[in-house]
Amino acid sequence: KNILKQLDHHFTTNNLYYKSQYGFSHKHSTEHALLELTDRLLSSMDKNDCPTSIFIDLT
């Protein structure tokens, strides 16, 4: 657990997290991921684009 805390602190203070990373990221959750996905889909539809998504479960 200490290693995870140190890594999280290092990544956070050095801004190394990708902005769309939700797994293993402090204060981010699946709800945030769904909100971003919904926002992107609706924005694309507003522009009369045809949004496409690919979902892969690696478990």
* Assigned domain for 25 exists: yes
pLDDT value of residue 10: 93
Q: Cα dihedral sign for 19, 25, 28, 29? A: positive
* Assigned domain for 39 exists: yes
Range of the domain at 37: 19-47
pTM of the model: 0.62
* Assigned domain for 52 exists: no
* Assigned domain for 28 exists: yes
Please give the residue that has the higher pLDDT: either 52 or 26: 52
pLDDT value of residue 1: 83
Count of the separate structural domains present in the chain: 1
Cβ(20)–Cβ(36) under 8 Å? yes
* Assigned domain for 5 exists: no
pLDDT value of residue 45: 95
Express each pLDDT in 10-50 by its tens digit: 988 998 888 888 777 777 788 888 999 999 999 999 999 99
* Assigned domain for 54 exists: no
* Assigned domain for 29 exists: yes
pLDDT value of residue 37: 93
